[in-house]
Amino acid sequence: MMKAIVCLCVLLLATVAAAQQPALESVLSRMDATAATFKSAEADFVWDQYEKVVNDTTTQSGKMYFRRSGNQIHMAADITGDTAGDKKYVLYQGDMVRVYQPNIDQVTEYATGKDKDAFESFLLLGFGGRGHDMLRSFDMQLLGNEMAGGVNAAKLQLIPKSQKARNVFDRILLWIDPARGISVQQQFFEPSGNYRLAKYSNIKLNEKIPDDVFQLKTTGRTKVVNPKG
């Protein structure tokens, strides 16, 4: 009897997986089509960062920008509000992440170095990255559809294939707008139990973004620090 039950469960799981394939393929193909014409994106965001050790959640909000220039990806995040009361401006260009904190007039620089490709693979999930490219780095499962960002979004679960990537995020959830092929919500889970839930709204694709968005508004007295330097 037990053997028969096990066989039935395996058959059911295989049937569900087979049924998922056309739907998953449709989502990935739509993301591919969006990536083929992707030039820029901007969106309002709310980030909830949960810290398991203290069982506390901090919230940040603001606006995020992406721009593709040749083979280069530029990202900027204008964090205009958070529960710590500290405004920040984050800029990614080349192989450098720079975080400017106006209240202390300081820029902190982080070099992505040899991890640049991995960093960009996380950065572009659902924002200009090809859907099928994700299959090289992640084991993927379609978890059905769920309302997010005002749309009936396809919910994807991504498990990084490499141990190095799993040491950063061991599981990722993406909610993809099936009509536009972009992410309206993301959740990144760390091995520690911490996670970040990102919700996006007022998303605009391929509209002109002023060049000064991708520049830090520093002063003549701004201090620059490098934690690894």
**Domain containing residue 120:** 22-225
Instruction: Point out the residues of the chain with pLDDT beneath 50.
Output: 2, 4-20
Which pTM was predicted?
A: 0.84
Backbone angles phi, psi at 128, to 5 degrees: 100, -5
Provide the CATH number for the domain around residue 90: 2.50.20.10
The whole-number pLDDT of residue 19 equals 39
Cβ contact 223:98 at 8 Å: no
Question: Is 201 in a helix, a strand, or coil?
Answer: strand
DSSP category for residue 162: S
Note whether residue 11 is domain-resident.
Answer: no
What lies within 8 Å, CB to CB, of 63 at 6+ separation is 42, 43, 44, 45, 77, 78, 80
Note whether residue 196 is domain-resident.
Answer: yes
Note whether residue 13 is domain-resident.
Answer: no
Rg (CA), the chain: 20
> How far, in Å, CA of 61 to CA of 48, rounded?
9
Note whether residue 4 is domain-resident.
Answer: no
The count of domains in the chain is 1
The whole-number pLDDT of residue 25 equals 92
The whole-number pLDDT of residue 214 equals 93
> How far, in Å, CA of 26 to CA of 14, rounded?
19
Question: Is 145 in a helix, a strand, or coil?
Answer: strand
Specify the DSSP element, H or E, that contains 136: helix 134-137
The whole-number pLDDT of residue 21 equals 59
The whole-number pLDDT of residue 7 equals 38
